[in-house]
Amino acid sequence: MKRLLLLLLASYFQLPSASAQTSGGPDAFGYTWLHTNAIGGPVYNWIDILPMATEINGFADDNSVGWVQMGFNFHYYWTDYSQVRVGSNGWISFNNVGNIAHSFPLIPTPGGNADNYVAPFMVDLNFDSEANPGRVYYWSNNVDSFIVTYYQAPFWINSQPDFTGSNTFQVIFTNTDSSITFQYAEQTGVVQNTGLNDIVIGIENVTGAIGLQCTLNNYPVAPAAIKFYYPNTVTLAIPDLKPDWNQNTENSGLFFFKGSATYLQSDIANVGNTTVDPPSSAIANFLDLQNISSYSSSKELDAIAPAADTIINFDGVLSLYNPGDYTYRVSVSNISDLNTYNNNNDFEIVVADSVNGEVVLSYVPQDSTMITFVSWNGGGSTSGAAIKVLPPYYPATVVGAEFFVMSNLGGFNPIPNGFTASIVTENVQGQPAVIQTSETVDNSGLFPSQWNRVDFSNPYTVTSGPVYISWIMGGDSVALGTFPYAPISNRSYEILDGDWAEYRQGANEDLGIRVILSSSGAHPDTTVLGIGDVVFENDVILYQNYPNPTETTTTVEFYVPQNTAADFNLYSSAGSLVNTISFSSLNKGRHRVDINTAKLAAGIYYYTLEVKGKVYSKKMVVR
């Protein structure tokens, strides 16, 4: 990673390194661990999977790749999992985690996106550049063994080349006894030390409240093994309800135009290991920045079994008349719930209005000043940040953007470098990859610690789906302000050496970027058909599939504004074509496609609708 800089009103201190241990546990659930050097510890027995393994491509500096199928259901704490995300920084998660980066969380730490993972060697690794020797492979016998091997993975350093050292290690998931084994075949070189949480090794459960940390800031001495043992008898019963997501499966913020109306929806999941019986309830509130609620509703819940979930729709319609930043909060209540860390889920809703012929979309409240910022050492001209926006109406023309730029020395210090602002759209796989237009801004016209406007000489009109606004550093000494106060959009990205990943602090702060739209065509959504489910007379509309996630069947609807031909395609997350349906003649209006997902492997898929050479795409999840 390029070192994250934060200007905080706090003293700096150094964490002590933990002394080397050879055993630990049990944790609250009953897991224990032993090192090779412990009495009765595991014997180091490296398994060379390379001749039969599959390489996991797409790693960069601070990102993750997945889903990777394990080939069987693996029992981890009280839940079964069949797929994982693999992180470039030496971690593997059963959650949909985009990024865990330095400074790394201690184990256990409740909350955040870093729950439900194993960390064989969670350290600042780097897979960037063609010259980098680092590779990651996986192999499964599809019965009881799943192995992930990090091969010759180097550390990141702030120099050229930006990698050093070599680390070869693997994780073995054994289904017969639900054990997890870390093995270390090589460890050379050292990570760039910061005195913070540079190296973390251990495991953590889905709540983040239970786990085992084997070591902190200590390098594994190879060859060696660490084995985690599933408890012989599980005596801890955990009823645990949580609002898994609100409004969309990404749980990511939305913009509405003034006067719109919508239903409020939430997915309530049981992440415990025992059925949660009534009485249970889910409560929804719509809160302004002063925590004053203008809407409140509650739903009584039926019994929810372990690993099950239920989607609920709250009564009534939420009318959005007053522009501003709001929190849609869902809370669950059950008298037997033992884990209260995850009882609330906050979702950002922004109500926008037109002023002087423009509509400003911002996840940061108006007139906000920021003292925290993000910048990347060694970032050069290929690193930066971005936000993702679903416009509140279509077509929406992006005419400009605002950026809260600073010197990385903070305050009102002069800004030594400029930046490049770009409008970016998604490729067919749903990844931000297509630059539509860019503007390079010289530092001479920038005002430090203020919002600086950039007008695009070639405005871009969005007709469907999301648009991204990116900020690329012109040098190491420019920074972007961040806003570490709720509500948080979960729509932030970091860009390192040209590679995109979810922003590592994206669950805790928003980026100082605003999108400026022309108000031409701006209008409220009053149809109350669901989020973004609005038909515009002259637009092709591809709707979100339902149900989503899906296990057996799902339905995709779309609208065409005139008689036409169209192609519907379904792709895997790797971009492979799964199925295609060609419509030689469609009448104007709304149509549907039913998809049988029962035989599809669990994971993320992308479906597209191509009409007259233009492609519309959305993402769906198969469980």
pLDDT at residue 375 is higher than 50: yes
Tokens of 159: 């120099």
- Residue range 117-144, pLDDT digits in tens: 999 999 999 998 889 999 999 999 999 9
Note the pLDDT of residue 537: 45
> Which DSSP symbol is given to 443?
G
pLDDT for the residue 382: 87
By CB neighbour count within 10 A (0-12 exposed, 13-18 middle, 19+ buried), where does 14 fall?
exposed
Write down the pLDDT at residue 212: 98
Closest CA to 138 of 196, 60, 71: 71
Average pLDDT for the chain = 89
Q: Between 348 and 371, whose confidence is greater?
A: 348
Tell whether pTM > 0.95: no
Mean of the pLDDT values across residues 235-260?
Answer: 91
**pLDDT at residue 535 is higher than 80:** no
* In the chain, % of residues over pLDDT 70: 94
The fold of 541-622 is Immunoglobulin-like (2.60.40)
Model pLDDT, residue 588? 80
**3-class state of residue 449 by DSSP:** coil
Residue 525: pLDDT band with limits 50, 70, 90: confident
- Other C-beta atoms lying within 10 Å of the C-beta of residue 315: 10
Asked if the model's pLDDT at residue 338 lies above 80, the reply is no
What is the Cα–Cα distance from 384 to 371, expressed in whole angstroms? 18
445-449, 456-460, 516-520: least confident range: 445-449
The DSSP annotation for 126-185 comes to ---STT---EEEEEE-SSSEEEEEEEEEEEE-SSSSSEEEEEEEEEEEETTTTEEEEEEE
- Looking at residue 12, its pLDDT comes to 25
The one-letter amino acid code at 539 reads: D
- Do 580 and 549 touch, CB atoms closer than 8 A? no
**Residue-wise pLDDT tens digits, 555-602:** 888 888 888 999 999 998 878 899 999 998 888 877 889 898 988 998
What number does CATH give the domain 241-354? 2.60.40.10
77 - beta bridge partners?
none
CA 132 to chain CA centroid, Å, is: 26
Domain boundaries defined on the chain: 23-229, 241-354, 375-518, 541-622
The reported pLDDT for the residue numbered 586 is: 87
Predicted confidence at residue 380, as pLDDT, reads: 66
Cα dihedral 576, 466, 373, 329 sign: negative
Which of 235-244, 318-327, 526-535 is most confident? Answer: 318-327
Task: Please tell me the predicted confidence (pLDDT) of residue 603.
Answer: 87
- Among 405, 413, 397, smallest CA distance to 474 is for 405
CATH topology match: 375-518 vs 541-622: no
Check whether 325 has a pLDDT greater than 70. Answer: yes
pLDDT in tens, 71-118: 999 999 988 899 999 999 999 999 888 889 998 999 999 876 678 999
Fold category of 375-518 in CATH: Jelly Rolls (2.60.120)
Mean pLDDT of 344-366: 95
Residue 545 binned pLDDT confidence (cut-offs 50, 70, 90): confident
If you write DSSP's letter for every residue of 107-121 in order, what string do you get?
A: SS--SSTT-SEEEEE
Q: Is the pLDDT of residue 218 over 90?
A: yes
Q: What is the pLDDT of residue 378?
A: 73
Q: Say if residue 553's pLDDT is above 90.
A: no
Give the Cα separation of 126 and 103 in Å (integer). 15
Residue 20 is predicted with a pLDDT of 67
Write the DSSP string, 363-410: SS-TT---SEEE-BTT-TTT-EEEEEE--SSSSEEEEEEEEEEEETT-
> Concatenated DSSP letters for 2-42?
PPB----SS----PPPPPP-SEE---SS--EEEETTSTTPP
